[in-house]
Structure 1
Amino acid sequence: MQVYKAFFKIILKNLSQIMIYVVVFVSLAMALGSIGNKSVTVDFTETKVKTVFINYDEDSKLVEGLKIYLSKNSDMKDIPDETKKLQDALFFREAEYIVKVPKGFTENLLSGKEVSLDKTTVPGSTSEIYMDSMINKYLNTAKLYKNTMEDLSPEQLIANIEKDLGEQTAVELKTSADESANNEKRAFYFNYMAYSIYAVLILGVCSVMIVFNNTDLRKRNHCSPVKLKDMNFQLILANLSFAVLTWFIMVLASLIMYGDYMFTSRGLLLLLNSFIFTFAALSISFLIGNIIHSKGAMSAAANVVSLGTCFISGVFVPQALLGKTVLKIASFTPNYWYVKSNNAIANMSNFNMENLTPIFFNMIIVLGFAVAILAITLVVIKQNRMAK
């Protein structure tokens, strides 16, 4: 495995330049992870509707029970039964719902007749819907008991209604705001990783290929006892090993910062997406390594390709803020599809095939880029050999 060992010896000689991008990325990732999100608290507080209760009927147990039930769930206001004062109360929002019990209400309800209450409300208000719901609940419960148990006394009827309507259900309000913010932060981590992977792989692979593509060294290698086929196999294996090692170092910080999250469905998808993208970046690095012939060009290529493609594909600026023309151009790079998948994973709520299919489709496109660029690279290599 002489070629394999030689590959990593060259990498070690250029390690200081490569490590700049690794250290910057890991430092930024750690800093980003240490910044706590502001907790978003969403509390539910029950508001009571300002209600005026006016009774034109007899002082029956049924009317009294209705008034008590409404007073428990609304803010009862004592406003005189005068049209002007009631109108002023509604206008200045001293009252939001005025309910009037008509004469004969109790008798009609107990005899099974249709009954209704007169109401005056703030037009188009939610308080009207809320109070209508409470009143309908009370009256429907009363009718239900009266129709099924006709021999109930008014006292028993009221007691049964109060018992039924007094049942409470514990409500726990959950919010996903904090989790959504965390998902966005993790997606940004993996988006930014595209820049570092590009830079590290281009610098590493190019530094090796510049040496191996040297004309004198190439001629000496052809005279060595190592077959060309074995040499190419070791070189490919070394490139793959370097790419996987680079990917592992990049994701190591995420495993430290996010822990168990990275082993959830969302975290594993982010890891898989970044792993596939690494091979696309490796293909591009391999292509560049077979085109350039100097270390100055290597540094320029690393900066231009990594920064240029990342700026237009949504790594540094969210894709939602980029123009359509820019995104169309970016769609010809694997970065665009990689970032698109990361954003979809971060915003995904249900892990079903309908939501996963576009993500897997994007991953296939990234793999397609890797295969296509590798094919172009092989053509370039063949052309270089024929020229020399």
Structure 2
Amino acid sequence: MQVFKQYFRIVKKSALSSLLLYMAIFIFMTIIFSNVGNSTDSTSFETEKCKVAVLNNDNSPLSNNLEAYIEENSKLVKIKTTDEGIRDALFFREAEIVITIPKGFEDSFLQDNSYTLETQSIPNSSSSIFIKSMINNYLNTTKVYIDNTKNLNFEKISDLVNKDLSIDTEVTLAKDNKEDTKSSVTYYFNYLAYPMLCMLILGISIVSNIFNSPDLKRRNLCSPINSYNFNMQIFLGDMVLALSTWTIFMALAIVMYPKDMFSFSGVLHGINSLIFTITCLCLSFLISNISTKNSIGPISNLVSLGCCFLGGAFVPQQLLSETVKSTAIFNPVYWFINVNDKLNALSTFNMDTLTPLLFEMLIMLAFSVAFLGVGLVIMKQRRTKY
């Protein structure tokens, strides 16, 4: 196994720094971007307090209670009470709505219910509509207590009204389509396509080009190791490198998303990534037989970035045009991302739901066989030159 041992000496000397660089880039991308899944997965609803200015010219118990209620349910701001001050406050968004309680408001409210509140608000402000509705609810509830109770002062009525209006309803936003919201672990595996492709193409091609250099190749042909054994040890090194890379990324996924990874969906993500790793291995084997020392870097970047952009690793597949999708079916990254997205959307796991995913995994394996076959043919043709 001298060739196998020498394989990893070459990796350590010539390729390790580049592989670690791409791994660091991926970890950085994962930490920064994969949390998008969490931020877009919220089903809670929270009201945002509106900036309100209240000009209380009545200073009666009712107007004071109303002002206190508005302050409790909004962000009360102080502004200049002149017409110019009100206009400036609205223009500079110091307040979204200005409510003026006129003098005699309480008397008008108690006598004939013909009260009037003067309001000025920012045009097309939804918050101001909410504040007006809130005030109407308060005054209507207050009117009900006044009409149906006796010997109750405004302080007691205010307590009863506040108690009634403080009843909250929990609001949950339903998600119509789970596929539109990706989890963090899905983002992780989608982004994994780039470093996996780039690292394997780079690492395997660097080692293969060193072993296939003309002088070293002729020297190896004179050694007691036959050509088949020599090439098998190199390919075994390729496999160990690929599986080691996959193991590191899987360990990172388990550390970052333990709950997701120790689930049935997480296991399927792992299997899908393993199959994709095999595909990347075979593609890297093919590229290593056609690349030169000076072209390894450009080819690895071109292939990995091109496949990832066209396959939906960086841009969601839902946003890709039909033309791009029709050509992307010849791209193994497309099928890898497609399986990840479908796993994210699944809530029930049975043969009916898993059969399409297994079929797409078989497509990736078919790519692997094709890449390996072409690579072997090219390697055989190159062997005849020596």
TM-score for the superposition, normalised by structure 2:
0.63
Alignment of 1:340-359 (within 5 A): 340-359=338-357
Q: Is the counterpart of residue 303 in structure 1 residue 301 in structure 2?
A: yes
For the residues of structure 1 that align with 2:324 and 2:345, how far apart are their CA atoms? 23
For the residues of structure 2 that align with 1:176 and 1:190, how far apart are their CA atoms? 26
Structure 1 position 227, deviation (Å): 2.5
Gaps of 5+ in 2: 47-169
Matching residue of 1:28: 29
Where 2:356 maps in the other structure, the secondary structure is helix
Structure 1 position 191, deviation (Å): 0.9
Q: Is the counterpart of residue 292 in structure 1 residue 295 in structure 2?
A: no
Letter in 1 for 2:17: S
Contact residue 30 and residue 253 of structure 1 kept, 8 A: no
Contact residue 11 and residue 207 of structure 2 kept, 8 A: yes
Alignment of 1:1-388 (within 5 A): 1-13=1-13, 14-32=15-33, 37=39, 39-41=42-44, 183-294=182-293, 296-388=294-386
Letter in 2 for 1:260: K
> Using a 3 Å threshold, how does the CA distance of structure 1 residues 219 and 243 change in structure 2: closer, same or farther?
same
Larger radius of gyration: 1
Per-residue CA distance 1:48-88 (angstroms, 9 max, x = gap)? xxxxxxxxxxxxxxxxxxxxxxxxxxxxxxxxxxxxxxxxx
Contact residue 201 and residue 287 of structure 2 kept, 8 A: yes
> Using a 3 Å threshold, how does the CA distance of structure 1 residues 366 and 311 change in structure 2: closer, same or farther?
same
Structure 1 position 18, deviation (Å): 1.7
Contact residue 43 and residue 172 of structure 2 kept, 8 A: no
For the residues of structure 2 that align with 1:182 and 1:218, how far apart are their CA atoms? 52
Where 1:293 maps in the other structure, the secondary structure is coil
Cα RMSD over matched residues?
A: 2.3
Letter in 2 for 1:195: Y
How many residue pairs get matched? Answer: 259
Percent of residue pairs bearing the same amino acid type: 39
Letter in 1 for 2:10: I
For the residues of structure 2 that align with 1:268 and 1:182, how far apart are their CA atoms? 20
Contact residue 199 and residue 306 of structure 1 kept, 8 A: yes
Per-residue CA distance 1:150-203 (angstroms, 9 max, x = gap)? xxxxxxxxxxxxxxxxxxxxxx998886x9888532212101100100000011
Letter in 2 for 1:37: S
Structure 1 position 42, deviation (Å): 6.1
Where 1:387 maps in the other structure, the secondary structure is coil
> Using a 3 Å threshold, how does the CA distance of structure 1 residues 173 and 265 change in structure 2: closer, same or farther?
farther
Letter in 2 for 1:264: S
Letter in 2 for 1:9: R
TM-score for the superposition, normalised by structure 1:
0.63
For the residues of structure 1 that align with 2:25 and 2:339, how far apart are their CA atoms? 24
For the residues of structure 1 that align with 2:379 and 2:330, how far apart are their CA atoms? 23
